[in-house]
Structure 1
């Protein structure tokens, strides 16, 4: 399944880029995130609790950032295991561009699920994935905009 979105963030590309590469900011923005730990500059481990329809699980996984172009964007590859609930894999391309009000952040993501999650149906899973992405960027926008206001 594929989903896309964009958001204008009231901050410079430099500030947005810094936030996109800071573990504490990312952890604060991921809904249900219990832990987000850097392994290296490009890799993180995470623990996220998520609900998709009747399935609620704690997912343990990893996130790798690649193809970084400072101030312009990067590629994210993530995967998580939720025990009996199943697994999820995701890749996304995030790009930044100047906008009149700050920075335009755009993402194109592709996700795969297996186990019980796959049995729920792609419509519901896609809907939840879109809501989680929207919530992440809402939080990210607020977090970065607040940092700029200080």
Structure 2
């Protein structure tokens, strides 16, 4: 699965960068995220559930940041597992660009792979759900990052 996205966040790049590196802000922005546990400056675990058609899998994902070029870009890698969800791996190149009026253009290119019951049942639905999750996440992130001011 491959996915690209461009989102305008209504906050300056430094605040967006801080939020994208804060597990508690990410927890609030990830739809149905139950918990976010920081292990280090570059690793945390997120536990969340999502709706995939009539199935509601729960995932525990280890998220790692690398190739960090603060406050411009990083690579986010995630590896998740869950009973019903199976295994999921993903990687996203995230870039932040300051734009006029103290806003930030966030661009990403992500790729991922899923194995297990859900992947076997509904690969097209997985891609559609992933895009909806990304759209929901960035809309919520914009709200949360501006509420934290």
Per the shorter chain, which TM-score range? over 0.9
Q: Which moved more, 1:88-97 or 1:111-120?
A: 111-120
The answer for unaligned runs of 5 or more in structure 2 is: none
TM-score, normalising length from structure 2? 0.93
How far the C-alpha of 1:83 sits from its partner, in A, is 1.0
Alignment map for 1:84-103 (pairs within 5 Å) = 84-101=84-101, 102-103=103-104
CA RMSD of the aligned region, Å?
A: 1.2
1:55–1:116 Cα contact (<8 Å) kept: no
CA contact (8 A) 1:79 1:88 kept: yes
Match of 1:138 in 2: 139
Residue 55 of structure 2 is matched in structure 1 by 55
Instruction: Please report how far the alpha carbon of residue 54 of structure 1 lies from its aligned counterpart in structure 2 after TM superposition.
Output: 3.0
Alpha carbons 2:72, 2:95 under 8 Å: kept: yes
| Residue 42 (structure 1) aligns with | 42
Count how many residue pairs are aligned between Structure 1 and Structure 2. Answer: 148
**1:107 alignment partner in structure 2:** 108
Query: TM-score, structure 1 length as denominator?
Result: 0.93
Runs of 4+ in structure 1 deviating by more than 4 angstroms, as ranges, are: none
User: Where does structure 1 lack aligned partners over 5 or more consecutive residues?
Assistant: none
Q: 1:9 touches 1:145 (CA, 8 Å); kept in 2?
A: no
